[in-house]
Amino acid sequence: ELHRHRQLYLHHHERGRDRDGDGGRECNRGGGCDRGTGGHERGDVAPTVILTTLTVFLVMFVIQMGIYFHARTMLNAAVEDGVRAGQLVGGTAADAELAVDAMLVDSSSLLVDRRRSVRITADQVTVEVAADIPSLVPFWSGTVTARSSGPVERFRSEAERS
C-alpha cells in the first residue's frame, strides 16, 4: 500500500508539477532545498483574513472620524451664526433659531435628529445645538454638540459701564 502511494506521488510530480526535476522541493540560490508545498500552506489564509478585516475597520473608523469632525465644524458655524443673530440690538431667540436653521438647511442627511436651544438673558446669548450623525463603526453612537455664547449688544450708559 505504501509503495502504491509513492508511485502515485511520483506520477503526479512527473505530469508537470515537477518540471525542474527537484522532486517537489523549493530550492534557493545557495543550493539548499526544502521539501514543501511551494510556500502555500493552509495557515496562510488566516492572517490574510484578519489583516483584511482590520484594514476594513480602520478605513471605516477614519471615515467615521471625518464625518464627526465635519459635523462638528458645521454645528460650530451654526451656533456662531445663531449667537450673532441673537446679539444684535432687538435680536430674539427666534432670530437665533432661524440663523441656526439657515446654516444647517442642507445637512439633513448628515445631521439627524437636531436639537437646539437658545437662551437670551439681559446680558448674554447662548445657543446650543446637538445632532446625531450616521454610524459606520459598530457600537459607536455619534452625537455631536456645539455651544457658543456672547454678550447682548445694547446701549449702556456711562454709569452702567463703571
Indicate the pTM of the whole model. 0.66
> Quick check: 80 pLDDT over 70?
yes
Residue 77: the pLDDT is: 95
Task: For residues 91 and 21, give the distance between their C-alpha atoms in angstroms, rounded to a whole number.
Answer: 91
Check residue 31 and give its pLDDT: 54
Reported as a pLDDT band with limits 50, 70 and 90, residue 19 is: low
Please, are residues 152 and 91 in contact by the beta-carbon 8 Å criterion?
yes
Task: Indicate the pLDDT class of residue 30, thresholds 50, 70 and 90.
Answer: low
User: What pLDDT does 118 receive?
Assistant: 95
pLDDT at res. 18: 47
Q: Is residue 82's pLDDT more than 60?
A: yes
Cβ(127)–Cβ(82) under 8 Å?
Answer: yes
109-118 LR contacts (CB < 8 Å, sep 24+):
110/67, 110/70, 110/71, 110/74, 110/134, 111/71, 111/74, 111/75, 111/144, 116/82, 118/82, 118/86, 118/93
* Whether pLDDT at 13 is above 80: no
Mean pLDDT of the chain: 81
**Is the pLDDT reported for residue 27 higher than 50?**
yes
Q: Is the pLDDT of residue 35 over 60?
A: no
pLDDT at 147 over 60: yes
What value does the mean pLDDT take over residues 38-46?
63
Q: Is the pLDDT of residue 105 over 60?
A: yes
Q: Say yes or no to pLDDT of 44 above 90.
A: no
DSSP state of 24: S
Q: Model confidence at 28, in pLDDT bands (50, 70, 90)?
A: low
Reply yes or no on whether the pLDDT at 120 is more than 60: yes
